[in-house]
A = this chain, B = another copy of it.
């Protein structure tokens, strides 16, 4: 019933995460009513996406396809002796926004999840172990997500790294109350961590 070109746009946009058919219709109709330039901009940006981005061979961060290694690694101002380990490339940008970290990164490419068939072998753990020797790393900060999968991955990483480098300092991001959450709504695990890791004022 709808013009097929409009239907095609609705179907295509419906593949985006969390976008149902009503939202896809709203997007499509907005684009149809708007200047064709907006649709063309999105189309050309999407066409260039996969060819314009690649994975850094050292850190597995995403970077411009024109780079050889991620600027977050090659930058001489960054301390290669400290490596912060994250699950996904975008986690890096959350940390970077704090402007509180000046070391380098390592992207695992996920977390161990038997349910989703993700095993330790599929993550970039081997490469991390090699980096510790190659870059004379002195501290590894494990910043996997505070989920069951993230926790298991952290425990395994800790074990593998300690086996090979008994003197390596291995730390985790602190657990505690996030800003703006009142005590009565905090979950028990968070509250226990906040209590055990209490700091002097």
Residues in A lying within 8 Å of B, measured CB to CB: 1-6, 8-9, 11-13, 15-18, 25-32, 36, 38-53, 62-65, 89-90, 93, 96
A52-B17 CB under 8 A given contacts A39-B47, A42-B46: no
A12-B42 CB under 8 A given contacts A4-B64, A90-B29: yes
Interface of A is mostly: helix
Q: Are B5 and A53 in contact (CB under 8 A)?
A: yes
| Copies, count | 2
Which residues of the other chain, B, contact A40 by a CB distance below 8 angstroms? 46-47
Of B25, B26, B44, which one neighbours A43 at CB under 8 angstroms?
B44
Q: Are B3 and A63 in contact (CB under 8 A)?
A: yes
